[in-house]
Amino acid sequence: MEDKLIAYGGQAVIEGVMMRGRKTYAVAMRAPNGTIETRVEQLGGIYKSRVVKIPFLRGLIMLWDSLGLGMRALTDSANLQSGEDEKLEGPALYLTLGLTFLVAIGIFFLAPAGVGWLSEHYLHWNAWWSNLLEGVLRLLLLLGYLWVIGFASDIARVFAYHGAEHKTINAYEAGAEMTPSVVARYSVEHPRCGTAFLLTLMVLSLFFFTILGPLPFAWRLISRVVMIPVLAGVAYEYLRWTANHLTLSFIRVIVKPNLALQHLTTREPDEKMLEVAITAFQTMRKAELEASIT
C-alpha cells in the first residue's frame, strides 16, 4: 500500500458506481441480465494542471468537472438499463448542467432570499432576523428534499449504491481485503462525501448572509448568486482540511453533522451492490496503474 493513501472519490449511478482516480475513472453497472459491465475513461487535462493546486479556485473547478463526469456516468448507466446507446457530452452536457444549476439556485437560494425579504418588509422584522430566517429555510429545504426523494424506490437503490461506494473506499483506506463480506463491515459514512459538501455550503451561507444586513431586493438576490462560487470554494477547502485531520478529536466532533446527514443519502447495500462497487474500484485502480506505466 502507498505511504500516503490517494484520496479516491466516487458517485452512485443507476444500478452502479463510478470511481474516480488521479488519471482515470471507471463505472461499473449491473446490467439487466445480471452481469457487471464496466466503462473506463481518461480524466481531462484539468486534473493534471497547476490550477487544481490553487486553494479555493480548485474547489470550483473540481466541482464543475465532477458534475460533468457524474452526468456522463449517469447517462451510461441509464442507457444500459434502457438498452439505448446515446451519450450526453459536449454542448448538450453543459447545457443540461447549466439548467440544473439554474433550477437549484432558484429553489435553494433565490426563493429563500425572497421569503426573507418579504418578512423584513411586510412583517417588519429586522435584517438580522430576516436573513436568519432565509438561511434556516434554505437548510430545511435541502433536508426536506433529500428526505422526500429517499422514499422513491429507484432513488433508494441509488442511495444504497452510494453506501456501497463509501464502504468500498473506507475499506481501501483501512487496508482491508476487497471482498463483499469484508467491505460490508465498514461504514456508509465518509468525510469527503458530496452530501457533506452541500450541508457545509448551506451552513456557510446561513452565517455569511445573516451578517450582510439589509439590502434592496435586487441586490439581495444578486448577492446570493454572486457569492455561491466563493462559498463553494470555502466549503471545499473546509471538507478537504477536516478530511486530512480526522486524527484530531475536535475535528471528529465538528464533522459529526456532515456524517449524520449522509444517512439521508445512503442506505445499507446488499452483497451484489458491494460487488459492483468493488469492481468499479478495482477497474479504476488497474486503469490507474496502466496509465502510470504508459
- At 239-282, the pLDDT tens digits run 889 988 888 999 999 999 999 999 999 999 999 999 999 999 99
Cα 17 to Cα 112: distance, rounded to the nearest angstrom:
33
Residues 6+ apart with CB under 8 A from 265: 146, 150, 159, 162, 193, 195
What percent of the chain has a predicted confidence (pLDDT) above 70? 93
The answer on pLDDT for 19 being more than 90 is: yes
- Which residue blocks in 46-108 are alpha helix, DSSP H? 57-82, 90-105
Beta strands at 16-20 and 36-42: parallel, antiparallel or unpaired:
unpaired
CA distance 258 to 125: 31
Q: Over the stretch 66-78, which tens digit does the pLDDT of each residue have?
A: 777 777 888 888 8
Arithmetic mean of pLDDT, 63-68: 75
Q: pLDDT band at residue 6, thresholds of 50, 70 and 90?
A: confident
Q: Mind listing the pLDDT tens digit for each residue in 25-54?
A: 999 999 999 999 999 988 876 666 677 777
Return the biggest CA–CA distance within the chain: 67
Torsion of CA 240, 241, 243, 248, to 10 degrees: 180
pLDDT in tens, 103-151: 999 999 999 999 999 999 899 899 999 999 999 999 999 999 999 999 9
Q: What is the pLDDT of residue 96?
A: 75
Of the pLDDT bands very low, low, confident and very high (cuts 50, 70, 90), residue 100 is confident
Whether the per-residue pLDDT at 1 is higher than 50: the answer is no
Cα–Cα distance measured from residue 14 to residue 80, given in angstroms and rounded to the nearest whole number? 9
How does pLDDT run across 215-245, given as a tens digit for each residue?
999 999 999 999 999 999 999 899 889 988 8
State which amino acid sits at residue 95: L
Which of 165-186 are b and which e, b meaning 16 or more Cβ less than 10 Å from the residue's Cβ?
bbbbbbbbeeeeebebeebbeb
Q: For residue 142, what pLDDT is reported?
A: 94
pLDDT in tens, 170-211: 999 999 999 999 999 999 999 888 888 889 999 999 999 988
Distance CA 81, CA 105 (A): 30
Tell me which of 55 and 215 has the higher pLDDT: 215
CB 22 within 8 A of CB 49: no
Closest listed residue to residue 7, CA positions, set 191, 139, 137, 153:
191
SS3 253: helix
pLDDT of residue 3: 41
- Tally of helices (H runs) and strands (E runs) in the chain: 12, 4
Q: Could you report the per-residue pLDDT of 148-164, keeping only the tens digit for each?
A: 999 999 999 999 999 99
The whole-number pLDDT of residue 188 equals 96
Within 174-248, residue ranges assigned H as helices are: 180-183, 194-210, 217-226, 228-244
What is the per-residue pLDDT for 67?
76
Cβ-based neighbour number of residue 132 at 10 Å: 19
In angstroms, the CA 186 to CA 166 distance is 8
